[in-house]
Structure 1
Amino acid sequence: MDELPSEHMEHAEHAEHAVHEGNQFFITVSATIAVLAVVAAVIASFETTETGAAISDKNSAVLRQAQASDEWAYYQARSIKQKMFELAADEHPDKADDYRKQAKHYEEDNIEEKRKADELQKQRDEFLEAGERHEGRHHGLTLAETMVHVGIAVATVSIITKGQRWPWYGSILLGIAGIIWAAWTYLAHP
């Protein structure tokens, strides 16, 4: 979640005023804002990592599907050739042995082609599952990061309102909720 540079400046400006006033509560709120900003940055880093992993895994799944499709096409082409040689063996008894040998060759090759195609489809499914897991984490981390960012904004209300404590308490709760949500995201999408 990108923030505008002016948002950081505004939070820093409120914190600076608090320090100049020498009010211990304002200094505590400013420290809370700093801690929440670090927590938000850490969560954002994890979110970015999960986004990249989701994209990478889903791209790998698409590649495996394309490769599997190629293998299946090759398998089908060879199956058609096998069937043609079997029919030719029935139609031309004088060359039946050669045709049956060719048909057997294609049949044996197709066992390996089918195995390759099945393996590629299995890999595709594994990459899709991993991509979904990473995407689920991304969404959870986005929500967690948003909670922490809202907590930062709410904390500044304590300074703006000249020492009201309820916004500061709310910001701490939002920060804790964001941390818990981020942790739960990893537990829910192992």
Structure 2
Amino acid sequence: MSGHGFHVHGPHDHELEHAAQHNPEGMAGKLAVITAILATVGALFSYMGGATQANAGLYKNNAAIKKTEASNKWNYYQAKSSKQNLAELALALVPEDRKAGYQAEIERYKGEKADIKKEAEALEEAATEWDHQSDEQMHQHHRWAQATTALQISIAMAAIALLTKRRWMAWGTVGIGGVGVVVGVLAWFHV
């Protein structure tokens, strides 16, 4: 521009002004919108990843509690077995007139052991179920983490595309973002 109010446009300047005035939705605008959408979806995926990881930890803790309770029941079962064994030994050693009392004790211990065994097996089954649920939550957590990572890579690619003005990188942004969304959908459906 000269000092006398006369302005000469070069072809490049003219194209930039034209693009700015008539195409506000150029590559930068489109990538900004895509980046905002990816960031929002990524935040949701990240939240779900954290929630499933927390659930997996809680379920694993419940499994450990049930395993401890089952172990306690099996110890109680063993104690009853020891008492039954002592009663059986006494039965063999005592005179005939006292054998009926020991025989009754033996039968009582057998009945108690059967109940304790059922309780211990039920606790072991519950522990196994909690472990299974924890494993499922960890699998889902990994899916959410994979989806979030793909979206983060996509957002970084959008920044590179803006800086380098490379259209193929913009398409890469959309492609990798799409992969992240698909993996997030898989996580949602527990696949």
TM value normalised by structure 1? 0.84
Alignment match, 1:182 = 184
Alignment match, 2:109 = 106
- Tell me the alpha carbon deviations over residues 111-165 of structure 1, each in whole angstroms, 9 at most, x when there is no partner: 110000000000010011111111111112111110000000001112112x321
Q: CA RMSD in A?
A: 1.7
Of the three residues 53, 71, 91, the one matched with 1:89 is: 91
The 1-side partners of 2:136 and 2:25 are apart by 46
Alignment match, 2:171 = 169
Alignment match, 1:127 = 130
Of the three residues 128, 145, 149, the one matched with 1:146 is: 149
Alignment match, 1:68 = 70
Structure 1: 5+ residue runs without aligned partners?
Answer: 1-18
Alignment match, 2:33 = 31
Say which SS state the counterpart of residue 166 (structure 2) adopts. coil
Decide which structure has the larger Cα Rg and report it.
2
Deviation at 1:24, TM superposition (A): 2.6
92-101 or 21-30: bigger deviation: 21-30
Alignment match, 1:56 = 58
> Alpha carbons of 1:23 and 1:186: their partners in 2 closer, same or farther (altered >3 Å)?
closer
Alignment match, 2:45 = 43
Deviation at 1:177, TM superposition (A): 0.2
Residue 158 (str. 1) matches residue 156 (str. 2): no
How many residue pairs match? The answer is 169
